[in-house]
Structure 1
C-alpha cells in the first residue's frame, strides 16, 4: 500500500476513533509526511528500521529539538502499530526504534507581581470601552484565572460559563470535559466583555455565533489571534523573545502551588491525565525558592 494513503487513513483513525485533538493529529500527520519524503514516498512495506533511523538522523542533522525527535519516533511507532493491526504490514519496523529522551526544561513562568502589572494595564485599557480591549482583558484573565489551554478557551461557548458560581465547562484533550473555577477578576472582566464588548463584535457577522470570544469579523476567535495577543502583552513581563498562551497556564499552576494548593487539586484543574505531568510545577516552585534563597540568605 502507498505510504501516503496509509498515513492519511491513520490520521483519520486518530481523529475519529481515538478522538485525539486536531492539533495532535496535525502534528502526527506532519511527522508522517516528513517520513514519507525522507523515504522517497516508498511503498509502506518497503520501510524498515534502517529507513526510520535514517529519518531521525536527518532530523538530528537539521537541528531538531530532542522533544521533536521523541514525538516523531512516537508518531512512527503509533502508526506502524496501527498498520500491523490493520494487516497493512506483516512486521512492525518501529519496535526497536529508539529516540533521544526528552530533555526536561522548566516552563516559562511570570511572577505574581508581573501578572498583577499586566492585568492592571489590560483592565485600564478596557475601561475605555473598546470592544477589542474588553475582549482581550477577559481572555487574559480567563487564561490565567482558570489555567485553561488556548484550544479550550477558543472552544468556550457563552452557555459554558456560570458567572454566578465562577465556573466554566471546557472540553480538553481526548474530548474530556471538566469544570474549572475562575476568580472574581476573571468573572468581572468576562461580564464587562459580554455587556459592552461582545455585542459590538457580534454585529460584524451575519451569522449568530454561540462562541464566548469573538474575532474581528464576529466569528469564533482562533488560536492564532490569542497567540498574537499573549505574545504582545506577556513577553515584556517575562523577558522572553517568544511566548504563548501556555505560559499563562504554566504561571497559573505554579502560583497555585506556591499558594499552598494540593498537587492533585491542581491536576484536576489543569485536566492532566497523569500526576507526573503536573509535578513539573513543583520543580518550578523549588527553582524559584532556591533562587530567592541564594539572593537573600547571607550563608547561601
Structure 2
C-alpha cells in the first residue's frame, strides 16, 4: 500500500470527531485565497490557560509570513488551528470570508503543504519519499529536490531517485544527515504544490552556508504560494514580508523586520537577546527560545 493510500485509508476508517463541512474549496488558478483569524481562542483539554487568546489577523495572499515567539507563546497552536488539526473554542478562521468548518475537511486540508519539526522520512526510495507515492512524476520530483538544495547530492553516483533511504530493508541503503533529511522534506512540500506552504524551522539542521542558500533562493522555491514560516531564529525572518510576534497566546506585534526592530517591544527584546549569537555566527543554544 502506498503512503498516500495508507493515509487515505486512515482518514476513511479511523473515527474523526472534527466537524465535516459540505462546501468544496474553490480551485483558483490565481491562488487568491485569503485567510483571516477573527477573535480566535483555544485551550488544550485539561489545561486552565488558553494557548491562544482572541487572535485576529489576516494573511497577505502570496506573501511570506514569519511566526515568531518564545516557547509556549502560541505560535505552533496557531499553525495547528490554521491546518484544522484542532478547531477554535471561540471565534472563527475564515477562508475567503467563509468559516473553514463549513468546507469539506479533505478539500481544506489539500490547500496546505506542511513540514513540522518532527517530520518522518521512510525507508523507501528517495523519489517515493518526495512524492509520498510509488508511482510519481520523476521529473517533477527531481526538480523539487533541486529547488530544495538537494541537487548536488542527487547528482552523486548513487541510484538517483531510486536510491533507498536507510538500511532497514536494503543493505545498500543510504544513511542521510539531518540537514539532508530537511531538504528532502522541503522537496516533499514543494511536490504537493499546495497554495499554502507551512514550514516549521525548515533549516534548523542545516549548516550556516546551506541555510543561507535556502534563504537566498526562498522566493524562487515557494514561487507564487503563500508561505508561513515558524522560527526561533529571528535572523532568518528578515526575508519575510510580515512578522507576527506571539507572546502569551496573543499577537503582540506585527510588521516587517525593519519596522519591528525600531519599535520597543517583544521583537526588539528577542532580537537583542540573540544578537550576540548572530555576531559570532553561532547557533542559539537549545533552550534559549
TM-score (norm 2): 0.29
Higher helix share: 1
Higher strand share: 2
